[in-house]
Amino acid sequence: MKISALAAALALAAGLGSAAPSPRLAPPPAVPAPVNACLKCHLSLDDDTLSPPARAFQKEDVHAKAGFTCANCHGGDPTQDDMDAAHDPKKGFIGKPAHAQIPGVCAKCHSDAAMMKQYNPSLRVDELSEYKTSKHGQMLAKGDQRVAECANCHGAHGILPIKDSRSPVYPTRVAKTCNTCHGDAALMASYHLPSDVYAKYMTSVHAKAMYEKGDISAPTCNSCHGNHGATPPAVTSVANVCGTCHAVFAEKFRASAHARAFEDLGLPGCVTCHGNHDIAAPTEEFLGTGPTGRCGSCHEKGDRCDVATTAMHGDIVALRTRIEAAHRVLETASEAGMEVSKQKFDLTNAEEALTKARTDVHELQLAAVRKDADEGLAIARAAEAAGHRAMAERDYRRRGLLLSLVLILGTIIALVFTIRRLG
């Protein structure tokens, strides 16, 4: 048995030793990098015009990363080392596209749905059509060589994805990018346009939300004017544009007498009271014809509308003041250890009523504003009264505690004297 076992082991060992090596999977064929002799040549040049674009494209251009070469935009043959062969017009070489050619050059790919879906199916492919409807596109079509085209906003080489925070079209950079042209006083003067739009925007409530609170969803230039189809909102469409974010306010405005009056007078909806680029945070002081009111440009002091808006102002201020008073007493009670969490929660309903009253101002119905204010006042008064009761209870407890301490101290002193007398 020992011999047979040894033979079996030897046979097994022999079998293992003679087994053929496991077949290895062949590595996948390497994807050849696109031939781009353009870079090789242009990077070797000591030329301040030709070399920097090549460096920018090679460094981190979104197109380069996707496998595109210089020839995709400039044409020619990127496989040729010889300049004349590479720059052969017969192979589509156009050199640096003319200003008016750029939208078409970009659209060769960006309007091709089948091509764009290979890289990002969610990307739009109507940028060129949109651009042609824009003021920029319309002026370009008329031969204006100074208006913005694709490269003016996105860059020509070293183009970054729009979600890259360094991209000139990233939300926090859009205003500055637009200001490159719209802040040029001489250029804007030739179009009879103001050049202080950026400066005004940076003082607005929108810019403060964007840059101070870090809210990148806050409106910037393209939020109101559009991206590729950028154009100023028409007088009659301002409320619709603002309403894309401020939907409830826009709905109230459209139902108001103001909407009809503004249309008859040719006044832009929201802009007439709130301004456009330097929009300030709205306050109750906007109501009325006083020094800080916004109604005085159309209404006279004491007229029917002035009386109504003054009443709205009074109702809203009264509610806001009562809410603030209730908050103060509830916070004091809470810090003193009193249970007022229910009253603090109830007060949020008063704040909602205040928000609703401020919203209803846009409908210009005093009855609606007063109804909201009355509901909020009832809640705020109840919360404030509860806060005062909590504070009264706190004072009662403190007096009781003080009395107890006095009694305990008196008892201790009496015990001490009694012990000493007995001792």
pTM of the full structure = 0.78
pLDDT confidence band for 18 (50 / 70 / 90): very low
Put residue 125 in one of left, alpha, beta given phi > 0 → left and psi -120 to 50 → alpha. alpha
Structure tokens at 350: 């008063």
The three-state secondary structure class of 308 is helix
Cα separation, 33 vs 337, whole angstroms:
71
pLDDT confidence band for 290 (50 / 70 / 90): confident
Rounded average pLDDT over 411-421 = 93
pLDDT for 32 equals 59
Q: Does pLDDT of 27 surpass 60?
A: no
Q: Does pLDDT of 21 surpass 50?
A: no
pLDDT for 7 equals 44
Residue type, 48: D
Rounded average pLDDT over 68-78 = 93
Structure tokens at 187: 């250029």
pLDDT for 24 equals 57
Contact 109, 116 (CB under 8 A): yes
Q: Which runs of consecutive H residues, i.e. helices, occur in 160-268?
A: 171-182, 185-190, 197-201, 205-211, 221-225, 238-243, 247-254, 257-265
Q: Which segment of 7-21, 40-54, 178-192, 337-351 scores lowest on mean pLDDT?
A: 7-21
Structure tokens at 214: 């870090």
Structure tokens at 72: 């995709």
Q: Which segment of 15-19, 53-57, 286-290 scores lowest on mean pLDDT?
A: 15-19
The three-state secondary structure class of 101 is helix
Give the tens place of pLDDT for each residue, 141-180.
999 999 999 999 999 999 999 999 999 999 999 999 999 9
Rounded average pLDDT over 55-61 = 93
